[in-house]
């Protein structure tokens, strides 16, 4: 039960953090767009696109307004995208996505967390090859029938449907655990709107998201100790303001 409880808590924490980080990233993208092309959406197409995405994702209005104001503040730098790669525990690799206005700060903060957790920074390209980037739609298992979802995904031309890993302890699965599991419909950028439209037609609820994720090519099963160490490392990395997402190939 200890391992299961840890997984349930981890999934809940991950979903909450994901939403918080998504909101933060949109805010940074707003600042970057304004710094580059000005504050008027009518003449700044990049800003207009980001504001439209913010509306689609239900980003709180105060976050949008705060970052529009922040972009005009004296001394506010623009944001730069960076990717860092980390070796976790039990053979697990991690990709850390960053959007930062101070690269020296972000790399120092990440190095400190990795060192404190006794993990190791990897050379560029050492971990990213383990992942593929795809547009992904997440659907809670409680919000869709498996056969219906597979049919909808097939009709919409999706590439794949990844089922959650229930492991070998299904016998006493409870509603709380099940509610925190997700199907992932994997598709191309071009086909992504088609998938969303089909889901809406069928009345299937899905999680609002930026739309893409890094998916592990060969997920790795680890023991309890490595799982706890990786969970702690991911949590501490996500506590950093500059970090927007951490992807791992841990199953």
What is the set of domains in the chain, with CATH numbers? 2-71 (1.10.10.200), 80-120+220-248 (3.30.70.980), 130-216 (3.30.70.980)
* pLDDT digit string, tens, across residues 58-102: 889 999 999 999 998 888 888 999 999 999 999 999 999 999 999
The band of 171, judged by pLDDT with boundaries at 50, 70 and 90, is: very low
Question: What pLDDT shows up at residue 57?
Answer: 82
Question: What pLDDT shows up at residue 189?
Answer: 86
Higher pLDDT, 208 or 131: 131
Mean pLDDT of the chain: 87
**Sheet of 243-248, strand order:** 120-122, 80-87, 93-100, 243-248
Token output for 249: 């190939």
Token output for 50: 């980001």
Cβ(140)–Cβ(182) below 8 Å: yes
Query: Lowest mean pLDDT: which of 20-34, 80-94, 159-173, 194-208?
Result: 159-173
Question: What pLDDT shows up at residue 22?
Answer: 86
Rounded Cα distance between 45 and 175, Å, is 45
Distances (CA, A) of 216 to 49, 126, 129: 29, 14, 9
Question: What pLDDT shows up at residue 1?
Answer: 45
Q: What is the pTM of this model?
A: 0.79
Cβ(210)–Cβ(181) below 8 Å: no
Across 183-202, average pLDDT: 91
DSSP annotation of 250: B
Question: What pLDDT shows up at residue 208?
Answer: 66
pLDDT at 6 over 70: no
Distances (CA, A) of 186 to 72, 143, 189: 38, 17, 10
pLDDT at 5 over 60: no
């Amino acid at each position: 039960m200890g391992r299961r409880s840890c997984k349930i808590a981890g999934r809940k924490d991950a979903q909450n953090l994901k939403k918080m980080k998504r909101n933060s990233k949109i805010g940074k993208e707003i600042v970057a767009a304004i710094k580059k092309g000005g504050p008027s959406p009518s003449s700044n197409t990049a800003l207009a696109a980001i504001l439209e995405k913010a509306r689609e994702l239900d980003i709180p209005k105060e976050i949008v307004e705060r970052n529009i104001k922040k972009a005009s503040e004296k001394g506010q730098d623009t944001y730069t995208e960076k990717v860092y790669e980390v070796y976790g525990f039990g053979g697990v690799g991690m990709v850390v996505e960053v959007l930062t206005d101070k690269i020296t700060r972000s790399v120092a903060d990440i190095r400190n967390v990795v060192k404190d957790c006794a993990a190791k920074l990897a050379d560029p390209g050492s971990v990213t090859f383990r992942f593929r980037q795809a547009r992904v739609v997440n659907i809670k298992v409680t919000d869709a029938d498996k056969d219906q979802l597979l049919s909808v995904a097939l009709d919409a031309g999706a590439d794949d449907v990844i089922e959650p890993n229930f492991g070998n302890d299904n016998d006493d699965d409870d509603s709380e655990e099940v509610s925190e599991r997700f199907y992932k419909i994997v598709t191309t950028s071009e086909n992504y709107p088609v998938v969303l439209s089909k889901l809406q037609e069928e009345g299937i609820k899905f999680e609002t998201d930026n739309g893409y994720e890094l998916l592990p090519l060969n997920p790795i099963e680890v023991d309890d100790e490595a799982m706890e160490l990786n969970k702690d490392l991911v949590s501490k990395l996500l506590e950093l303001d500059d970090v927007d997402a951490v992807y791992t190939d841990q199953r």
